[in-house]
Amino acid sequence: MSKSALLVGCGSIGKKHFQEMLPKFDHIMVVDISTEALAWAQSEAQNAAPAAAPAAGESATGTAATISVAQTLDEAIAHVETNGPFDTATVANWGPDHVPTIRALQAVGQKNFVVEKPLSDSIADARDILAEVQRAGGKLFINLTRRYSGLPAGILAKAAEFNLGELQGVTVTGGARCIATNGIHYLDLATVLFGASPVSVTADLATQNINPRHESLAFYEGSVNYNYPGGKRFSCVFLNQSAVTENVRFYWRNAEGEMQPNGDFQLRLRNQSEIDTYPAVTRTGYAQDVAFSGNLWLTADGRTGMTALYDIVSNLDAAQGSAAETVGGRTAEDLLAALHASELGQRLTLPVDETQVDITKHWSIS
Ligand SMILES: NC(=O)c1ccc[n+]([C@@H]2O[C@H](COP(=O)([O-])OP(=O)(O)OC[C@H]3O[C@@H](n4cnc5c(N)ncnc54)[C@H](O)[C@@H]3O)[C@@H](O)[C@H]2O)c1
Give residue 334's pLDDT.
97
109 domain-assigned: yes
Identify whether residues 193 and 256 lie together within a single domain: yes
* Ligand 1 atom 38, closest CA: 11
Indicate which atom in ligand 1 lies nearest the CA of residue 143: 1
Strand partners, 73: none
Strand partners, 289: 269
Identify whether residues 67 and 134 lie together within a single domain: yes
Identify whether residues 134 and 265 lie together within a single domain: no
341 domain-assigned: no
Identify whether residues 12 and 101 lie together within a single domain: yes
335 domain-assigned: no
* Ligand 1 atom 39, closest CA: 11
Indicate which atom in ligand 1 lies nearest the CA of residue 15: 16
- Measured CA to CA in angstroms, residue 205 lies from 56, 221, 224, 338, 366 at distances of 62, 6, 8, 9, 16
Identify whether residues 259 and 284 lie together within a single domain: yes
Distance 101 CA to ligand 1 centre (A): 13
Q: How far apart are CA 304 and CA 290, in angstroms?
A: 26
CATH number at residue 211: 3.30.360.10
pLDDT tens series, the chain, 366 aa: 789 999 999 999 999 999 999 999 999 999 999 999 999 999 999 988 765 555 555 544 456 789 999 999 999 999 999 999 999 999 999 888 999 999 999 999 999 999 999 999 999 999 999 999 999 999 999 999 999 999 999 999 999 999 999 999 999 999 999 999 999 999 999 999 999 999 999 999 999 999 998 888 999 999 999 999 999 999 999 999 999 999 999 999 999 999 999 999 999 999 999 999 999 999 999 999 999 999 999 999 999 999 999 999 999 865 555 677 888 999 999 999 999 999 999 999 999 999 999 999 999 998
Burial 110-140 (b: 16+ CB within 10 A, else e): bbbbbbbbbbbbbbbbbbbbbebbbeeebbb
Distance 287 CA to ligand 1 centre (A): 41
CATH number at residue 14: 3.40.50.720
Identify whether residues 289 and 152 lie together within a single domain: yes
Pocket test for ligand 1, best of 6, 7, 10, 13 (most atoms within 8 A of CB): 13
Q: Which helix (H) or strand (E) holds 98?
A: helix 95-107
Identify whether residues 78 and 163 lie together within a single domain: no
Identify whether residues 187 and 315 lie together within a single domain: no
Distance 117 CA to ligand 1 centre (A): 10
34 CB-near residues (< 8 Å, 6+ apart):
10, 11
Which of 253, 274, 295 represents a domain boundary (last residue)?
A: 295
* Ligand 1 atom 5, closest CA: 13
Distance 341 CA to ligand 1 centre (A): 27
78 domain-assigned: yes
Q: How far apart are the first and last CA of the chain?
A: 36
Contact 49, 41 (CB under 8 A): no
Distance 1 CA to ligand 1 centre (A): 30
339 domain-assigned: no
Residue 190 CB burial class (10 angstroms; 0-12, 13-18, ≥19): buried
Strand partners, 364: none
Preceding peptide of 118 cis, ω within 30°:
yes
Distance 72 CA to ligand 1 centre (A): 15
Q: What φ, ψ does residue 299 adopt, rounded to 5°?
A: -65, 170
Contact 328, 144 (CB under 8 A): yes
Alpha helix (H) ranges present in 181-242?
184-194
Measured from the Cβ of residue 265, the count of other Cβ atoms closer than 10 Å reads 22
Measured from the Cβ of residue 306, the count of other Cβ atoms closer than 10 Å reads 18
Indicate which atom in ligand 1 lies nearest the CA of residue 181: 43
Strand partners, 70: 31
Indicate which atom in ligand 1 lies nearest the CA of residue 145: 1
Q: How many domains does the chain have?
A: 2
127 domain-assigned: yes
Measured from the Cβ of residue 298, the count of other Cβ atoms closer than 10 Å reads 17
- CA dihedral in degrees (5, 6, 7, 8; nearest 10)? -170
Strand order in the sheet with 88-91: 66-70, 27-31, 4-8, 88-91, 113-115, 139-142, 325-327
Pocket test for ligand 1, best of 36, 73, 94 (most atoms within 8 A of CB): 94
Identify whether residues 80 and 197 lie together within a single domain: no
Distance 92 CA to ligand 1 centre (A): 5
258 domain-assigned: yes
Identify whether residues 124 and 201 lie together within a single domain: no
Identify whether residues 179 and 206 lie together within a single domain: yes
Residue list, ligand 1 pocket, CB within 6 Å: 8-14, 31-34, 37, 73, 92-95, 97, 116-117, 143, 145, 181, 213, 366
215 domain-assigned: yes
Please choose, from the candidates 224, 243, 219, 242, the residue with its C-alpha nearest in 3D space to the C-alpha of residue 234. 224
Angle at 274 between CA 270 and CA 276, to 5 degrees: 105
Please choose, from the candidates 245, 194, 235, 240, the residue with its C-alpha nearest in 3D space to the C-alpha of residue 220. 240
Give residue 326's pLDDT.
87
Distance 285 CA to ligand 1 centre (A): 45
* Ligand 1 atom 43, closest CA: 366
Residue 185 CB burial class (10 angstroms; 0-12, 13-18, ≥19): buried
Residue 287 belongs to domain spanning: 147-295
Identify whether residues 180 and 130 lie together within a single domain: no
Distance 9 CA to ligand 1 centre (A): 6
* Ligand 1 atom 28, closest CA: 93
| Beta-strand runs (E) in the chain | 4-8, 27-31, 66-70, 88-91, 113-115, 139-142, 169-174, 200-207, 220-228, 232-238, 247-252, 255-259, 264-270, 287-295, 325-327, 348-349
